[in-house]
Amino acid sequence: MSGAKGARGRRFEGALDPTAAALNASVEFDRRLLPHDVAGSIAHAEMLAAQGIISVADAAAIRDGLRKVEARLASGELTWDDALEDVHMNVEARLIDEIGDAGRRLHTARSRNDQVALDLRLYALAQAEAIIVAIDALRGALVTQAKSHVDTLLPGYTHLQRAQPVRLAHHLLAYDAMLSRDRGRVADAAHRTDESPLGSGALAATPHRIDRERVAQQLGFSEVTRNSLDAVGDRDFAIELVSACALVQVHLSRLGEELVLWTSQEFGFAKVGEAYCSGSSLMPQKMNPDLAELVRGKAGRVVGDWVALVTIVKGLPLAYNKDLQETQEPLYDAVETVLACLEVARGMVASLQFDRDRMSAAIAKGHLVATEVADYLVTKGVPFREAHDVAGHLVRVAGSRELGSLALDELRAAHPAFADDVRDWLDPARAIDRRDVVGGPARERVLAEIARIEAELG
């Protein structure tokens, strides 16, 4: 091959030890940066020509050559060479093979340090956008299910014990609230990624009269970085994005856990589509919620990616250090894991079939209207703590019976403030609709929230 010999050149007499070379190479994973590396290089070459640093003809040859190299590498026509260490040297060497000396001028006024920083930012921005799209798709599936189950009631839980009745739609929209915050965090991480580091050189910029702003604008960046030392050694943008991904995955894990519970025979509240279940190698009757379990389990992986990133960066001196190569795999892994889990979660939510009767039966056991008894007494002027004590006493009196089955005389024996109108307070649907506050489960509030989310999603 007539191209460059990695980054070592004639400064070194011999090759790296084979084991060291394998450890040093990153092309196995950083080939993901190919489209971003080519886009950045084209913008850089065109800027160099505009500034009179290279000829317009060389810039055109570089642009056309890079596009050919990208297509041939992406298709497999050209193979990736581990000896060239990374995506950047693979592209540059193949470009030189393609167009000759003009390709050797591409690297003028830049270093692999600011080049990889640029490529990683472009990658992070593209993936942040993809994650936001995937989050919104899952939110859309949740809203669709919520619209179908505004009038489906189920127990709300605390400590995994039946607590108060709620609408299934309200329960599902709790996950939309989590995902909406996740969306904001991903967008916020992208905001701080939106600075072009190209032009920072290895650490101390370049003596050539480049136009950093032109390159940034061509690549879609809003700003350029303001300190060359920081720009080449900064991976905060990756850490922030992976941090946001970790919380996305934690929320997906919570959803996965509830699907595992709800699809169990003990709960029996829902069924997940067969496309998201698997059988047992031994027990033919089994239909296991394996994908929900995997989504739940992937949280440990993505949180681990975040821990790896912050640990790698901790204590690094300025500016670039080879340790930073190790930040790439956790970034790729976190992003790709979250994107896959968001898509699987969307499919699972869309496939859910709910057992309204089973949920309704669950409301009928467990004294879920005990809080209503206390709130009823408060409307009669009884202090809440006293009312709470009376309601607890009545739960004990009722035993295996439900509070709604107690006779008025039994209620009055606990407190004289009870009257005939207490019956309306012991109906679960009416109990829910009395909670008519912003963020509450009342029917009109849930419908308004569905409309608000649909408008937000467009």
**Tens digit of pLDDT for each residue in 366-405?**
999 999 999 999 999 999 999 999 999 999 999 999 999 9
Mapping DSSP to helix (H, G, I), strand (E, B) and coil, where does residue 221 land? coil
Q: Would you tell me which CATH number, out of the four given (1.10.40.30, 3.90.1300.10, 3.90.1170.50, 3.40.50.300), belongs to the domain 362-457?
A: 1.10.40.30
What's the sign of the alpha-carbon dihedral 380, 382, 383, 389? negative
Q: Which residue has the tokens 């009631």?
A: 153
Residue 322: per-residue pLDDT: 95
Q: At what angle do helices 112-148 and 236-262 cross, to 10 degrees?
A: 30
In 3D, which of 349, 351, 341 has the Cα closest to residue 134? 341
Q: Express as a percent the part of the chain with pLDDT over 90.
A: 92
| pLDDT of residue 138 exceeding 90 | yes
What is the mean pLDDT of the segment spanning 93-114?
Answer: 97
Decide if 225 contacts 213 (C-beta within 8 A). Answer: no
Looking at the chain, which residues constitute the CATH 1.10.275.10 domain(s)?
A: 9-108
Residue 62: per-residue pLDDT: 98
CATH number 1.20.200.10 given to 113-153+167-356: yes
Q: Which residue has the tokens 């084991």?
A: 19
Decide if 279 contacts 287 (C-beta within 8 A). Answer: yes
In 3D, which of 220, 241, 222 has the Cα closest to residue 328? 241
| pLDDT of residue 65 exceeding 60 | yes
In 3D, which of 159, 330, 346, 167 has the Cα closest to residue 252? 346
Residue 153: per-residue pLDDT: 98
Radius of gyration (C-alpha) of the chain in whole angstroms:
30
| pLDDT of residue 56 exceeding 80 | yes
Residue 258: per-residue pLDDT: 98
Residue 10: per-residue pLDDT: 64
| pLDDT of residue 3 exceeding 70 | no
Q: What is the pLDDT of residues 180-217, one digit of tens each?
A: 999 999 999 999 999 999 999 999 999 999 999 999 99
Over the chain, what is the mean pLDDT?
A: 95
Check residue 307 and report its DSSP letter.
H
In 3D, which of 108, 59, 102 has the Cα closest to residue 208? 108
pLDDT band at 174 (very low <50, low <70, confident <90, very high): very high
Looking at the chain, which residues constitute the CATH 1.20.200.10 domain(s)?
A: 113-153+167-356
- Residue numbers annotated as active site: 159, 280
| pLDDT of residue 1 exceeding 50 | no
| pLDDT of residue 2 exceeding 70 | no
Residue 9: per-residue pLDDT: 65
Integer CA distances (angstroms), 392 to 67, 165, 371, 419, 422, in order: 74, 17, 9, 18, 16
| pLDDT of residue 4 exceeding 60 | no
Looking at the chain, which residues constitute the CATH 1.10.40.30 domain(s)?
A: 362-457
Residue 20: per-residue pLDDT: 80
Q: Is the entire prediction scored with pTM above 0.85? A: yes
Residue 116: per-residue pLDDT: 97
The span from the CA of 242 to the CA of 298, in Å, is: 13
Q: Would you tell me which CATH number, out of the four given (3.40.50.12780, 1.10.275.10, 3.30.420.140, 3.40.30.10), belongs to the domain 9-108?
A: 1.10.275.10
In 3D, which of 131, 130, 148 has the Cα closest to residue 350? 148
What is the mean pLDDT of the segment spanning 55-77?
Answer: 98
Q: What is the pLDDT of residues 235-294, one digit of tens each?
A: 999 999 999 999 999 999 999 999 999 999 999 999 999 999 988 788 888 889 999 999
The span from the CA of 260 to the CA of 248, in Å, is: 18
Burial (CB < 10 A; 0-12, 13-18, 19+), residue 310, is middle
